[in-house]
Amino acid sequence: MPASHFPAEPTVADEQRGRGRVSLRYEDIAQDGRVALGAMPQAIGEAVWRALLSKHPANALMREQGVLPILSRLIILGGEGPCSVDQPLEASGCYEASSSVSASGEVERLYLNMWASLEGPRANTYDPQPSRAGELHRVGRVFGEHVFTRPFAPPAERKVLRLALPGLPELPEARYSPRPMLALLTPPSSAVPLDAEPTPDTASFVFGLAHTDSNQHVNSLVYPRLFEEAVVGRLALRGVTRPARAREVEVLYRKPSFAGEQVRIVLRTFRDGARYLATGTFVSETALATPETLATAAPRCAVRMVLA
């Protein structure tokens, strides 16, 4: 997944920009000093949600109206290292309300998109310290696509095509075109397949309460974590045993999963130069009954990941 798939950060007013600080845990930093992708979405949480949107006049009214921006896509790009667990990272971010339209010009969805960047000093948790110690470098970037919806309303009433919220336009002028699932799952021409076709992982997975959060379903960061584990196992079966870590990931969320549900990861791996690429989907275990049901299965989410 080249960085060009990362949506360009818009030019927005100062009140749509915020800053925050992200503390790191030991498990957030790999042995080579690079920060794990799963730790980076905290940048959006601190610089955008807590610094800006939690204080926004529309926040309380959204809850009253049952209108919420629900995460529908997450893109994380890893940056440089090394970093120390003793040195917090500085996050900066922004948000923008936007809309997507059909070919005929009709509004299809309203979005609240967010961008964040993480910077920190070059440092090791333990001595010796690296060259250029203390020099600031970009640790990673995050993009979060959120669709405005009424998640608790009857299905026919969930779509939101106009906003009635203070501080946000009724119909955002900014246009946004989300990348379709097929494009996400299509590898670049430079990628050499290691798997002839997408195939289910050998083991199914049962979600437990440990995978859920306060939104009452499986947390969004569980999917890329499980996907990376499956990819590392698949690469080992293909003779790739060199240690690698996910450095870029895009997750397109289609529908939630809940504790007690059983899923399988259907994936395909590639070599792309010195890096490895994997694409795949999370599908219900029942969708694997026959090739026909797998071909028509509606995935819980789709994932594109680069490891290096």
Q: Which of 44, 55, 37, 56 is nearest to 20 (CA)?
A: 44
> What total number of domains does the chain contain?
2
Supply the pLDDT for residue 2: 46
Burial code (b: 16+ CB inside 10 Å, e: under 16) for 220-245 equals bbbbbbbbbebbbebbeeeebeeebb
Q: How many helices (H) and strands (E) does the chain have?
A: 5, 12
Q: What is the pLDDT of residues 14-42, one digit of tens each?
A: 999 999 999 999 999 999 999 999 999 99
**Average pLDDT of adjacent 10-residue blocks, the chain of 308 residues:** 76 97 97 96 97 93 92 96 96 98 94 98 96 96 97 93 92 95 94 96 94 95 97 96 92 96 96 96 85 74 96
CB atoms closer than 10 angstroms to residue 75:
22
207 and 151 share a domain? no
Provide the 8-state DSSP code for 304: E
Supply the range of the domain harboring residue 284: 181-307
Residue 201's alpha-carbon distances to 176, 228, 261, 263, in angstroms, are 34, 12, 16, 10
Q: What is the pLDDT of residues 258-304, one digit of tens each?
A: 999 999 999 999 999 999 999 999 999 988 766 666 667 789 999 99
265 and 216 share a domain? yes
149 and 243 share a domain? no
Answer for the pair 178, 73: CB distance below 8 angstroms, yes or no: yes
72 and 110 share a domain? yes
| 218 beta partners | 212
Instruction: Let me know if residue 199 belongs to a domain.
Output: yes
Supply the pLDDT for residue 295: 63
22 and 73 share a domain? yes
153 and 10 share a domain? yes
Return the CATH number at 137: 3.10.129.10
